[in-house]
Structure 1
């Protein structure tokens, strides 16, 4: 157990900095693994064939698996250190609060953890008939109270230290081998998990929740158990992080942490309400990632994946969950004979603002992950399933980049899109008539400049979306459906400020899921399989 002096001298910020370093390493390793697994960017020529080519591809797959394993270990190390930092900071605050609560007539020595009577108070007490006894009684009560708080804080810190040490030791490679890692590929990961003994599955869930919770192919119920562990750890870390930033005077940083904490609280409450599974949760850089299913994605007849756009992440989780609940309700109303599951898939590092959203690279990086997730929904389903994917704003670009021959989607829906990275609906790998699009009349996304703005004097054109052809425009080939015009908010022309998706300026960009709107009604029919293109 640490001493009081050691606890008060500890620097939780150092652990937080190490946690961020591990998170950054995890992101770099995951990006390298994605590069090796993404079609068209692999290190090996696509047309190379023969025994040497097969061996080279096996080695490439093995390297990718090692990178994935290393990323998982780094993520877990960051989680452990971040949680430990939060718990030590909470123990320190407990002692400070207890010291401040001691009666002002008494002195507190934080070096020794003792409470004493100052000489001036002792002298005054001797001049009163009952002064000495009253002072002695006060000293005894406050010493007991403060001592109990110190012992409890030291025990909390020691417990956190033991748990963190054990968790970090568990991440070390076993003698003669590496930590457990799921094989690449959705089907292979499911077979690997199914073949593990029950005890090993339980051990990995407790000690490697990022591996179990973040691997497509592992059954949703198992991922949910692991990700609830991650959720508790992140909430604890964020509380401590926000408190420390407040103490340091960084109110803006504390507000950001508190916004993320409020979003994770919304996730927690939605899980507590029942009929929901947490399929992934990740922090690191960016806005935070969360994948949550409402309903049972392995047994529902209809499953919809909602891909949000700019600014989405932990802080926006409450609003994003409202949208998938609204989508599910609309689908159940449109097709009451079939059960529906709705998935919020914020499974990528979303752009922070509209300026960042002009860069298509994050969508390109996210596309392989979305394809893999959809493949897991199809292959892990108990019987036939109708799959719909809805991309909103920048999320429509992610969906467009992921779409193509072989994608596990039956209907593709683009909402308020800045372009989807494709020129025609026929490029998206879904049957004719199963590509849908809508953009509200007052949605400022209509004013997003297209590539022709920078190449000619034509300015804004009818298909001038920043990421290519407008899927709701003429000639793309999608079935365009009606949206309410949406609120105007501040004038699009009077306010030149660059907004985020949720600002008043862009209020029409977010109104598609408002109750009673025609867009929500149609999306519900598409998800339920009752709409006709």
Structure 2
């Protein structure tokens, strides 16, 4: 078991020196070994002595082949280890810097010790920030040791196999060919992240990888990275974009298979029509998914976007696309839409809405400060559809899809927070939810997340009974003429408008026409108007997203005095 003391003592430079020496030795073996191979047979020499010499010569040549193959494999692995160690040691240095900043020390045994134990903690260190940092450091150290063990185990394995003469086939025609066979061995394996890793553990894993190893993963295993909450948005987007061609090819195969099933069904006597119905359903699903990939490609083609989620494994494609750079944004708003939402039918429209929101947010921060903003359209769940209304498991009147979506959305929020923590970038995170998406948002906020503010609009119910958002930072909007919101605690949770506690918990925002520093803004009405690009409603979202609630338009309520 590797310790942090071992990691601190590891020397990539020493390994690089060994690699250089092994390269030199391997080249000598190739040159001299291939010369030695040419010494027999000797023309005109025959008999027992010649046969004995030939047998000895073949044995020595096979030995040279094995040694050369082992030396080549070992040299490659040692070079990989020298590179891999730089990633682990860099992650440890970053963790130690973070620990020092918050009053902790990482010991050689891997413990995170409190340097203020028994002493007064400086007032500028927030207790909640310290507690969160302690958790992060524990995760960081655990992953550093996990990756270090992986490097140590793989290198030891190659050393053992080389010592046992297990490289090369022994049948190569030359020593050079044997060395080439040795280099084919993969050497160090790339440490695959845990399938159950938390959004906080994923950036800890990524941090332990060298630049070269990250590039290899992006090239060879984008499927490991694209949907991994906690990784930087730029990494996820690059990985997901790389996945698109393979996802499209797989769906085209499914479509071809469905078309073949339809042709087969035509020749089968089936009075119920079930076989043809199933085949047509599979064809429609494949076509809809391909249309979703088209919508994603079109949206990403506008530039300035990041593809943060791509999942084709469900009945309908799920995706999340950001406008702006989530990694560098101080303000991030995540919008979750509701009933009838699909990627192929809804992404383009909502992406434009989020682009409008980002533009309005930029107008506000240009005047009042607050840093850059990024906005995200999150269609990361199976939103209820019209054809599922009668099914209790899929109905818009049932909370089941919202609960499942809320679990995923909470991880997405936490992933954004973990990514900002890892890069030490300030974050003001706002949750936006419309219609059934507000219920999904509410269930997400029933978890612990880094969300600072939440706004629900056109909401049929907030999902969870209690939303874990700082006091005074819940907002709602209700358009005139929006009759799709209940005034009771229904199946989708308490109403953010009419529940007994709504007036004390939520700021009721205006959606009337208004005059602001950005000019005259439109009123909105009905259930689908909240995201109008020149509306008071969208302006309110921009003000909340940028951390300027004092600029928003309210319905006769005052802003809570909770500190921001």
What interval of TM-score do these two structures reach, taking the shorter chain for normalisation?
0.5 to 0.7
1:285: Cα distance to partner? 2.0
Three-state SS of the structure 2 residue aligned to 1:410 is strand
TM-score, with structure 2 as normaliser: 0.52
1:312: Cα distance to partner? 2.3
Match of 1:510 in 2: 528
Report Cα offsets for 1:441-479 as digits up to 9, x if no partner: 323423x5xxxxxxxxxxxxx325441221122531211
Q: Mapping of 1:88-237 within 5 angstroms? A: 180-182=192-194, 184-237=197-250
Match of 2:542 in 1: 524
Which residue of 289, 310, 327 corresponds with 2:357? 327
Three-state SS of the structure 2 residue aligned to 1:414 is strand
Aligned mates of 2:356, 2:307 — CA distance in 1: 18
Gaps of 5+ in 2: 1-138, 144-185, 264-278, 390-394, 514-524, 551-558, 560-564
Aligned mates of 2:493, 2:258 — CA distance in 1: 42
Three-state SS of the structure 1 residue aligned to 2:396 is helix
Three-state SS of the structure 2 residue aligned to 1:512 is coil
Report Cα offsets for 1:278-305 as digits up to 9, x if no partner: 1110012232110221111121121101
1:257: Cα distance to partner? 4.2
Stretch of structure 1 that moved more, 314-323 or 390-399: 314-323
Match of 1:390 in 2: 432
Three-state SS of the structure 1 residue aligned to 2:498 is coil
Three-state SS of the structure 2 residue aligned to 1:335 is helix
Aligned pair 1:357/2:396, yes or no? yes
Distance 1:232-1:320 versus aligned 2 partners, 3 A rule: farther
Aligned mates of 2:207, 2:191 — CA distance in 1: 18
Aligned mates of 1:235, 1:374 — CA distance in 2: 28
Q: Mapping of 1:334-483 within 5 angstroms? A: 334-336=364-366, 337=369, 338-353=371-386, 355=389, 356-381=395-420, 382-404=424-446, 406-423=448-465, 427-446=466-485, 462-473=487-498, 475=500, 476=502, 477-483=505-511
Distance 1:234-1:508 versus aligned 2 partners, 3 A rule: farther
Aligned pair 1:314/2:343, yes or no? yes
Confirm or deny: 8 A CA contact 1:405 1:430 kept in the other structure. no
Distance 1:465-1:333 versus aligned 2 partners, 3 A rule: farther
Match of 1:289 in 2: 318
Confirm or deny: 8 A CA contact 1:303 1:386 kept in the other structure. yes
Distance 1:297-1:375 versus aligned 2 partners, 3 A rule: same
Q: Mapping of 1:19-38 within 5 angstroms? A: none
Distance 1:422-1:180 versus aligned 2 partners, 3 A rule: closer
Aligned mates of 2:431, 2:384 — CA distance in 1: 20
Three-state SS of the structure 1 residue aligned to 2:526 is helix
Q: Mapping of 1:254-293 within 5 angstroms? A: 254=283, 257-293=286-322
Aligned mates of 2:217, 2:451 — CA distance in 1: 31
Confirm or deny: 8 A CA contact 2:489 2:499 kept in the other structure. no
Aligned mates of 1:422, 1:215 — CA distance in 2: 25
Three-state SS of the structure 2 residue aligned to 1:421 is coil
Confirm or deny: 8 A CA contact 1:287 1:312 kept in the other structure. no
1:178: Cα distance to partner? 11
Confirm or deny: 8 A CA contact 2:193 2:205 kept in the other structure. no
Aligned mates of 1:473, 1:412 — CA distance in 2: 17
Confirm or deny: 8 A CA contact 1:335 1:529 kept in the other structure. no
Three-state SS of the structure 2 residue aligned to 1:334 is helix
Confirm or deny: 8 A CA contact 2:203 2:418 kept in the other structure. no
Aligned mates of 1:385, 1:176 — CA distance in 2: 37
Distance 1:422-1:299 versus aligned 2 partners, 3 A rule: same
Confirm or deny: 8 A CA contact 2:321 2:378 kept in the other structure. yes
Report Cα offsets for 1:283-342 as digits up to 9, x if no partner: 122321102211111211211011122232322221221222122122222332331101
Confirm or deny: 8 A CA contact 2:193 2:202 kept in the other structure. no
Gaps of 5+ in 1: 1-57, 63-173, 449-461, 486-506
